[in-house]
Amino acid sequence: MERQKRKRRFGDRNDGRLLRSLSPMTKLMPYIMSQRCDACNYFRGYVDVDTVEKYVREKREKGMTNFTNMHVLLAAYTRLVSQRPGLNRFVSGQKIYARDHFEAMLCIKKEMKLNTPDSVISMIFPLDATADQIYEITEKLVEDAKGETTNFDDTARILNYIPGLIKKFAFWLLRLLDYFGWLPVKLKHISPFHGSLFITSMASLGLPPIYHHIYNFGNVPVFVAFGITERRHAIKPDGTIESKKVMGYTLVMDERICDGYYYASAFRLFNGILRNPWQLDEAPKEVVSDVD
């Protein structure tokens, strides 16, 4: 079952609640590193492709013809956040908040051509979602975005009609409103820079994953990229060397939202989920709440 939302208190925002029980050092970090670009940590991991591809094939045989590695990663990360809610925090106005929902951003092209513009879709997933639910939500949103312009596309088009100097002032004003938590909810729903996670597939471009920057504008704390299948050599316990087919993935993270020990625990759990993706067919036994 999805955890119940707590009552809103003074200091909370319309997209998250202020975390009041964090350590003094943790509360100071957003002042020491005032921007997300100051606080980037980089991580690279590898997924056993044989296991994931077997899971993907099973899903496709059940009628989910567009099920891919990306759906596995999205489902695994959603499950991860349900157990490690600290990953769903964000920093805004030099304070740390727990987001009240899980929202992933995905950049798509309507056609794989050089001059086709990019678009961004926002996907809100229940934290107790199964892989099947992740697939259904994602597919519907991708199909809708390919058929017509998104709210983000329309807003970007309107903004480009504004003269440069006024546009610069407009973004300064948006940053000011966002700093104090006064940015209207409707604008946050349109913005691809306000959410839990940004994910991109470099595999569709035939490339290994890049370390994609996170944005100072908005509050997305994590950017995930995954790439093509490649071969890696590993030493087995008996000393022999084996060749494995793996898929690389990278994360660029805002280190201010939680400490290294918490991140390390999260990565171990994430890798464990990917080693056994069949667990994503069932909802988690519980959804863990973040601290007060």
Chain segment 8-47, per-residue pLDDT in tens: 888 999 999 999 999 999 999 999 999 998 899 999 999 9
How far are the Cα atoms of 91, 215, 218, 220 from residue 254, in angstroms, in the given order? 9, 10, 13, 9
Residues with Cβ within 8 Å of residue 219, at least 6 apart in sequence: 15, 90, 91, 92, 178, 193, 194, 195
- Under the banding of pLDDT at 50, 70 and 90, the label for residue 2 is very low
Is 114 among the domain residues? no
Rounded Cα distance, 169 and 191, in Å: 18
Looking at the DSSP assignment, which residues form a beta bridge with residue 241? Answer: 235
Is 17 among the domain residues? no
Residue span of the structural domain in which 238 resides: 39-109+119-148+190-281
Domain count of the fold of the chain: 1
Is 61 among the domain residues? yes
- Under the banding of pLDDT at 50, 70 and 90, the label for residue 3 is low
Pair 193, 217: CB distance under 8 Å:
yes
Lowest mean pLDDT among 76-90, 147-161, 214-228: 147-161
Tell me the CATH number at 69: 3.30.559.10
Maximum distance among all Cα pairs of the chain, rounded to whole angstroms = 67
Is 44 among the domain residues? yes
Is 16 among the domain residues? no
Is 230 among the domain residues? yes
Rounded Cα distance, 129 and 82, in Å: 9
